Amino acid sequence: MTLLAADVAEQADLLAGLLDRTPLADAARLVTSRRVVHLAGIGSSRHVAAYGAACLAALGGRTATLLAAPGGGVPQPRFSPDDLLVVVSQSGRTPALLELAGAARSAGAAVLAVTNAPGSALEQLADAVLPCGAGPERVVPATKSVTTAMLLLRALAAPVDPPAVRRLADGVASGTVPVASGRPPGFVVAGGLAGQAVADEVALKLAEVAGLPAVPESLVDFLHGPAAVVAPVVALVTSDDPNRDALATADVQHLSWQPTRDAGLDPIAMVVAGQRLALAWAGALGVDPDDPKGLAKVTMTR
């Protein structure tokens, strides 16, 4: 088993017990005491933040926004004491995110850190912390710190039914590696809650793990235009999605997962299915997923 495959396999146990060992009360108080919740991250962490914003808005009824990835002169909002900034950072020490958190604190806003790095600089800036507790990522492409952070944000948005978490963990544990066959995918399409964020993360994993560039799209956006492009499609769409049948005539590989019966948890299962597909394509193309060409960690996970 590769190191990356081991990280992927650990997710079932991590997800199963995460909410039992993570206190949410302080973070929940910050959410309910602020008028607007801003979420920020970079790379995979920004995909997590996008998913969290969708959960807070759709399931929690909160006003939630996804900020542009900070850095490079990107303008950020004028924070106020009515705001909460949720910073998602696996390493807890990405300079641009630390600068953003510092600016929010200086303006009187509250800061919530979602991180996999105990004792990090981000934690020191935060009013409350949601620790992923995933342990070190063994290789550069992030997997378990992504899905644990997603589950924490889902629980922050609205109560989670414990049996649904068990279904999620069981499905992750029993999932099989998809078959990588035919032409490599040109598109990754995802439906449901936070479909764009899921597509973004799966496409990133295909690029990081297998060296495959694929265009990520939400299902609705894909059908609005790119569906006319003749290219293989990887689809992460539930069986009851009203737009699923519109993909029937395309060159589509549907990835499957065990349904959780929770619209907010299914995206986590989709991401794991995408991780497994990236591993499958790496094997098919002879790429070492533990040492992807041209990929290096910018900030350490812990």
The Cα–Cα gap between 138 and 147 comes to 15
Quick one: pLDDT at residue 296? 66
295 domain-assigned: no
297 inside domain: no
Please report whether residue 85 resides in a domain: yes
State the total domains in the chain.
2
Share of the chain above pLDDT 70, in %: 96
Is there a domain that residue 185 lies in? yes
Q: Of 160, 180, 203, at which residue does a domain stop?
A: 160
What's the domain range around 22? 3-160
Query: Residue 302: what pLDDT?
Result: 32
Euclidean distance between CA atoms 158 and 59, whole angstroms: 6
Q: What is the DSSP letter of 116?
A: S
71 and 182 co-located in one domain: no
Quick: pLDDT tens for 41-93. 999 999 999 999 999 999 999 999 999 999 878 888 899 999 999 999 999 99
226 and 191 in one domain?
A: yes
Determine the 3-state secondary structure of 187 from DSSP: strand
In a domain, 294, yes or no: no
CA distance 104 to 84: 8
Phi-psi region of 8 (alpha: psi -120 to 50; beta: other; left: phi over 0): alpha
Tell me: the pLDDT tens digits for 245-277?
Answer: 888 777 899 998 888 989 999 999 999 999 999
Are 122 and 36 part of one and the same domain?
yes
102 & 193 share domain: no
Least-confidence region, from 19-23, 154-158, 202-206, 293-297: 293-297
Boundary (domain end) residue, out of 160, 178, 211? 160
Residues 98, 225, single domain; the answer is no
For residues 129 and 149, membership in a common domain is answered with yes
**What pLDDT is recorded for position 1?**
87
Distance, in Å, from the CA atom of 185 to the CA atom of 166, rounded to the nearest integer, reads 31
Q: Name residue, tokens 């978490």.
A: 165
pLDDT at 247: 87
**Would you say 50 and 200 are in contact if contact means Cβ atoms under 8 Å apart?**
yes
How far, in Å, CA of 292 to CA of 7, rounded?
15
Is 134 in the same domain as 172? no
| Rounded (10°) CA dihedral 78, 81, 86, 89 | 70
Helices 266-285 + 195-210 axis angle, to 10: 20
- The verdict on 15 and 141 lying in the same domain is yes
Return the CATH number at 259: 3.40.50.10490
> Of the candidates 160, 180, 202, which is a domain's last residue?
160
Q: Would you say residue 170 lies in a domain? A: yes
| Domain presence at residue 220 | yes
151 and 195 together in one domain: no
Residue 184 sits in the same domain as residue 207? yes
